[in-house]
Amino acid sequence: MAHISLIDKSMHKTYSWLYEIEEHMGWDEGNEGRALSLLKSTLHRLRDNLLINDLAHFAAQLPVLVRGLLFEAWNPDHTPVKDRKHGEFLAAVLHGLPETHKNIDIEEGVKAIFKTLYYKIDPLEVEKLKKVLPDSIKVLLP
């Protein structure tokens, strides 16, 4: 079977992200599925709070597979969302998780995702996110 470099590199980077999320959450290895669910749900809620131009710049920083998660089931006609309060954001992330993965401290989970983003993407892009996100959400960023 031939290997495709772009896919192989993206898989490697994606697993690196998942391992870092596990570490930030204090989870043992083997929780990559749980970390992936948390990453996907958090990215969807983050995506829904960004204007299209801001989203495009942010997405360009992500590994190909993670970028695919970001845009999965996206409807640009429904963004950005109007209710962008702290508790609503966290509740939406929790709602996006499978039932088997909802037994976490969702605020700590979102902070773990944002911390991973902070270390994995261009710091200037993180600063841009801080400028465009509502105060109630950007407090979750490191």
C-alpha 28, offset from chain centre? 20
pLDDT (0 to 100) of residue 1: 58
Q: Say if CB 62 and CB 136 are below 8 A apart.
A: no
pLDDT of residue 78: 87
C-alpha distances (whole Å) from 48 to each of 4, 29, 58, 75, 79 are 31, 30, 12, 9, 5
- Hey, what domains does the chain have and what are their CATH numbers? 5-138 (1.10.490.110)
pLDDT at 2: 66
Residue 69 near residue 137 (C-beta atoms within 8 A): no
| Per-residue pLDDT in tens (0 to 9) along the chain, 142 residues | 567 888 889 999 999 999 999 999 999 999 999 999 999 999 999 999 999 999 999 999 999 999 999 999 999 998 888 767 899 999 999 999 999 999 999 999 999 999 999 999 999 999 999 999 988 898 999 9
Q: How far apart are CA 98 and CA 10, in angstroms?
A: 24
| pTM of this prediction exceeds 0.85 | yes
How many helices, marked H, and strands, marked E, lie in the chain? 8, 0
User: How much is the pLDDT for 50?
Assistant: 93
Which pLDDT score, from 0 to 100, does residue 6 have? 84
Let me know if 132 is exposed, middle or buried by CB neighbors in 10 A (0-12, 13-18, 19+): middle
